[in-house]
A = this chain, B = another copy of it.
Amino acid sequence: MGRKMFDLCGRDERLRFSPYCWRVKYALAHKGLDCEFVPWKFTDKEAIAFSDQTKVPVFVDGDQTVVDSYEIFRYLDRVYPDKPLLGEGAAAERARFFKFYAERSLAPGVMRTILMDVFNAVHPDDRDYFRTSREKAFGRTLEEMHSPSQGLSMLDKALEPMRGRLDESPFLEGDEAGAADYLVVGAFMWARVTSAADLVSNADPVYAWFQRMLDLHGGVGRNATRIVDVDGAYAN
């Protein structure tokens, strides 16, 4: 029994854009573990009903099922202890902050920058679900939430601590990438796959970091299909 992960896909099955799924792809690549990435749409709730919840990533390893990207990191460290992701003690406690930094500092700015691009990228079957669920959560329409100028301004401020760190070292974890980098890179892959927007200028240390992240582990990020590579991806 092999490993598989249910992986959010878009209007083209090759478009894989969930920031949470990207965390796990980097974590698996870090460990050198093969995995089948099963394309999944928001409305495919039946396909993951066995996981007793409704979101991806859902990771299946033989007879084990693990949900939530951070829980999958923990599972991978437990079952495949070589090349630790989170580690133990203070290392593990400190890793946890990067989850919240990615989700609460970076993601809101990225989201407001690319929201209509994400809406365009989702599978046609998911469009109604995506609009309805997001508009309910935001209390506003997608069109009202989408504001690249505001989003990029939010992101610019939120990136300040990353810039400080990346001015002195190639990765958030120092000389080699690790869990902190993987927890954060999902937000950048989300934008890279769905949008042509540049989140940071090429003079930004965060830009150079992301280029290194794209090339890591055999180009796991670099090789991802982007919306700009898909014929007809902007047709209705």
Contact = CB atoms under 8 A, between A and B. Distances in A.
Contact of A160 (B96, B105, B173, B178): B105
Nearest to A171: B93
Contact of A91 (B91, B100, B160, B164): B91
A164 B70 CA distance: 14
A90 B161 contact: no
Contacts of A104: 160-161, 163-164
Interface string A73-117: 000000000001001011101111111110111000000000000
A178 B90 contact: yes
Interface string A123-167: 000000000000000000000000000000010011011111100
B100 A165 contact: yes
Interface of A is mostly: helix
A102 B158 CA distance: 12
A104 B163 CA distance: 9
A174 interface: yes
A100 B154 CA distance: 17
A159 B231 CA distance: 42
A172 B180 CA distance: 15
B180 A97 contact: yes
The 9 tightest CB contacts between A and B, nearest first, are A100-B164, A94-B94, A104-B160, A100-B161, A91-B91, A90-B91, A93-B174, A101-B161, A93-B173
Given A96-B165, A104-B161, A154-B157, 8 more contacts: A84-B90, A90-B173, A93-B173, A93-B178, A94-B180, A97-B172, A104-B164, A105-B160
28 contacts: A84-B90, A87-B89, A87-B90, A90-B91, A90-B178, A90-B179, A91-B91, A91-B94, A94-B94, A94-B98, A94-B180, A96-B169, A97-B98, A97-B101, A97-B161, A97-B165, A99-B164, A100-B162, A100-B163, A100-B165, A101-B101, A101-B161, A104-B161, A105-B105, A105-B157, A105-B158, A105-B161, A157-B157
